[in-house]
Structures are given as structure tokens and as C-alpha cells.
Structure 1
Amino acid sequence: MSSDRRTAVVAGVLFLITEIAAIAGLVLYRPVLGATDHAVAPGADTWVSLGALCEVVLAVAVVGTGVALFPVVKRWNEGVALGYVCGRLLEAAVIVVGIVSVLSVVTLRQDLAGAAGADGDSLAAADKSLVAIHDWTFLLGPNIALGLNTVLLAYLMYRSRLVPRFIAVLGLVGGPVICASAVAVMFGLYQQVSVPGSAAALPVFAWEVSLAVRLITKGFRPSPATSGGTGQAAGG
């Protein structure tokens, strides 16, 4: 197996991991983020800890996709490729902030169970603040940052023709759509976890899954750059 073929497989697997970890984390967080009485149900803290672990895996996989693909895509445009790596690092950092806020919610709600009066009110206010921090990181990371990063990588894939162009077009369409949806959520037009929000995320989901499957099963398309030449020859 050539170096580029191994890179394609690793990147494809990492993209699949990001999808699985993101969905699992969101589902596992629901007992805490969806609670309205500021009380953690028995065993919920375990589920939240598992959710946090999933998001740690997500953050690592997000960075991994950028690092894995950089040696290949830089052959066409090193500046854009470096921007993609930096963007993935930023996306992962925002996710980590959200992880810390959710774990802090669990600690506060455990303390809140034995608190009363002013202490209870203070803890409840802090609880709401931490949930709000997570909600904003969820919007800024897996939506806005993800959308911008998607556009960068899809542009590189479109120019280089490393994958079929219809896959790259999914990313070129999906990135702006999910960013626009995030702006709509910021201005209160609808909730992020809603039918419109989910519909806006579908093109990016389709982009990442189709890209992952292509990279794992067939790798990059042959080109002068992947054969040791320069990227300009295949970048039209």
C-alpha cells in the first residue's frame, strides 16, 4: 500500500469517527442538557461522562483529519491546506470548551441536590450559564467552524480532483448552508436541534460520509501530484 493510499484510509476512518462520536456525544448528553429541574437522574452522570469521552474522541479525530490530509492537499495550495489544519485545530478547541462546561454541569447538579435557599439559587444560575456555554460551543464548533473547514477542504478536493467532483460539490454546498443555519440560530429563528437545523446539517453529513467511503474504498484519484509530480498539472 502506497503512502497516499494509507493516508486516504486513515483520513476516511477519521471522518467516520467524527460522525459517530458527534452523534453519540449529543445523545448521551441529553439527560443533563435537557433537564429542566436542575437535578441529575440516577446514573445520568455516567452517561454524561461517556458523552464527554465521545467528544474527546471527536476532537482528536477532527484534528487528525487535518493533519492526515495536509501532506497530500498542500501539493495544490499549501496556504489553503494550512488554513484547513488551523481551522480543524480551532474547531477541536471549541469542542473541548464544551466538554469542560458539560462536565462542570454534572458537578454543579450534584452539589445542587443538597443545597437550599440562596446557595441553591446560585448553583442553578451557574448551571444555566454552563449549559448556555455548551450550547454556544456546539453552535460555533460543529456548525460555523465545521462549515468553514468544509469549504476549504472541498475547494481543495474540487481543484485537485482527488475525489469525484460531485463529492466536492456536496462540501461546497454544505459548508455555506450549515454556516447560514448557524447564523439563523444565533438570531433566534429556530433551535439548533430542530427539523430545520437537522436539515441544514444533512449536506455536510453527506459530504463527510461520502468522502470517507471514497477514501477508504478507492483512495485518491491518480494524478501527477499523487504520483510524485506537481499539483498544478491536475488542479484545473
Structure 2
Amino acid sequence: MDSNRKTAIIVGILFITATVAYSLGVILLEPILRASDYLTMASENENTMIIGSFLVLIDAVAVAGIGIMIYPVLKKHSGSLALGYAGARIAEGVLFTINVIAILTLLALAQDLAKAGYPDTAYYQTFGTVLLAAGDLAFLFGFAVAFTISALILNYLLYRSKLVPRWLSGWGFIGAALLWVYYLLQPFNIYLLGILFVPIAMQEMVFAVWLIVKGFDPDAIDTEPSGTV
């Protein structure tokens, strides 16, 4: 098995790992963080908060790993775009890590509130609101900006280089564009807007399985790029 084949398998596994870890983390954390009494919920569900945060951290490491692992393959076709993709994925990982730090700080705050016997909660509520907002903002930039930009770069470069079938990379590019539309329209609370998440979510899993089973097209890898843009 050559290095490019190994890279494809690792990248595919990392895509699946990131998606599964993120999904499970959100399932565990969202009911607590979105509750009206989130500080009480957090203090009463310490293990759930820790496990959910750990899963989001796994996602952060996995997405950064994707950018690093696939860089040597992509740079053969465009050094600048490959670097941009790796940078965007690393930034995404950093932002998700900031989100985890905010969540764990919120947990510490909730535990302190519980130990104090739930006195006047104005201070705790204010600090908790700030932590929630900081975590949400980091997550928003990680997903709406870093992830979306990285997906556009990756699928554009895959389409141009033919490292995978063009129907697959074209699907990913359109899915990433639709995700951007989702975030642009989100303030308008349009019904069923969440369906715009589906194309890129499905494409990433098909892409991951493709890399694990078939890998990159060896002919495309060996083809000299026409430029460095």
C-alpha cells in the first residue's frame, strides 16, 4: 500500500470520526445548554457535560488532522489552495476547542453555584450567559466560516484535479454553497431551512467511504498541475 492510499484511508476515517463525535457531542450537550435552567442542569449532569465536551474535542482534533493529512496530496495540484484548506481546518479545530473551553468553564461555574447553595444567582447567570455566547460564537465561526470555506476549497480543488469523481466533488461544492446560504438566511427563521445541511453532510460520508474503499485516483495524483493557483 503506497503512501497516497494510506493517506486516503486515514483521511476517510478522520471524516467519519469527526462527524460521529460531533453528532454525539451535540446530542448530549444541546438539551443541557439550551435549557432555561442550564446552570442547574449542568451541575446535575456533570458526566454528560464532560463526555459531550470530550466528543467535541475529538471532532476538533479530527478536523485539524484532516487538513494536515491531506495537504501533501492537494499541494501537488495547488500549493496555495492546499495551504488555505489546511489552515481553515486547523482554524476550525481551534474554534471548536475554544467552544469546549467555554462549556467546561460553564460546568465549573454551575458546580460552584451548586456548592454555594444556590444564593442570589444574578452573578452566575450573567457569567453563564457570557460563556454560552462565547461558546456559541466560537462554534458559529468554526462551522459557518472555517468549515464552509474549507469545504468550498477542498471540493473545488478535487473537482479541478479529478482526484475523486467529479460528481462527488461537485456535490460537495454545491453542498458547501448551500450551507453558506443557510447561515446567511438563518436570521430570517425560514421554515425547513435546516434541510440545507443535508447535502454536505451526506456528501462528506460518501466521500469518506470512497476514500477508504477506492482512495484517490492514482492517475490524477501523478498528473502535473497546470498552475500553482
- When normalised by structure 1's length, the TM-score is 0.89
In the alignment, the residues of structure 2 paired with residue 51 and residue 174 of structure 1 have an alpha-carbon distance, to the nearest angstrom, of: 27
In the alignment, the residues of structure 1 paired with residue 2 and residue 42 of structure 2 have an alpha-carbon distance, to the nearest angstrom, of: 51
Query: Aligned runs of 1:12-161 on 2, under 5 Å?
Result: 12-37=12-37, 38-40=39-41, 43-113=44-114, 114-117=117-120, 120-161=121-162
In the alignment, the residues of structure 2 paired with residue 87 and residue 141 of structure 1 have an alpha-carbon distance, to the nearest angstrom, of: 9
**Conservation of the 8 A alpha-carbon contact between 1:80 and 1:152:** yes
What does residue 219 of structure 1 align with?
215
Query: What is the SS of the residue equivalent to 1:226?
Result: helix
The Cα offsets for residues 43-70 of structure 1, whole Å up to 9 and x where unpaired, read as 5111110111111111111011111111
Change (3 A) 1:190 1:45: farther
**Conservation of the 8 A alpha-carbon contact between 2:152 and 2:173:** yes
The Cα offsets for residues 91-138 of structure 1, whole Å up to 9 and x where unpaired, read as 111101110111111111222232322xx1110111112112222222
In the alignment, the residues of structure 1 paired with residue 91 and residue 174 of structure 2 have an alpha-carbon distance, to the nearest angstrom, of: 22
**Conservation of the 8 A alpha-carbon contact between 1:72 and 1:226:** yes
One-letter amino acid of the structure 1 residue matched with residue 139 of structure 2: F
What does residue 206 of structure 1 align with?
202
Deviation at 1:189, TM superposition (A): 1.8
Moved more, 26-35 or 48-57: 26-35
Q: Does 1:189 align with 2:183?
A: no
One-letter amino acid of the structure 1 residue matched with residue 132 of structure 2: V
In the alignment, the residues of structure 2 paired with residue 195 and residue 100 of structure 1 have an alpha-carbon distance, to the nearest angstrom, of: 31
Structure 1 alignment gaps of length 5 or more = none
What does residue 231 of structure 1 align with?
225
Deviation at 1:143, TM superposition (A): 2.6
Deviation at 1:231, TM superposition (A): 3.0
- The share of aligned pairs that are identical, in percent, is 31
One-letter amino acid of the structure 2 residue matched with residue 230 of structure 1: E
**Conservation of the 8 A alpha-carbon contact between 1:31 and 1:48:** no
Deviation at 1:35, TM superposition (A): 1.8
In the alignment, the residues of structure 2 paired with residue 88 and residue 133 of structure 1 have an alpha-carbon distance, to the nearest angstrom, of: 20
The Cα offsets for residues 75-99 of structure 1, whole Å up to 9 and x where unpaired, read as 1111000000011111111101110
In the alignment, the residues of structure 1 paired with residue 43 and residue 127 of structure 2 have an alpha-carbon distance, to the nearest angstrom, of: 21
- When normalised by structure 2's length, the TM-score is 0.91
**Conservation of the 8 A alpha-carbon contact between 1:32 and 1:105:** no
In the alignment, the residues of structure 1 paired with residue 207 and residue 77 of structure 2 have an alpha-carbon distance, to the nearest angstrom, of: 18
Over aligned residues, Cα RMSD in angstroms? 2.0
**Conservation of the 8 A alpha-carbon contact between 2:74 and 2:157:** yes
Structure 2 alignment gaps of length 5 or more = none
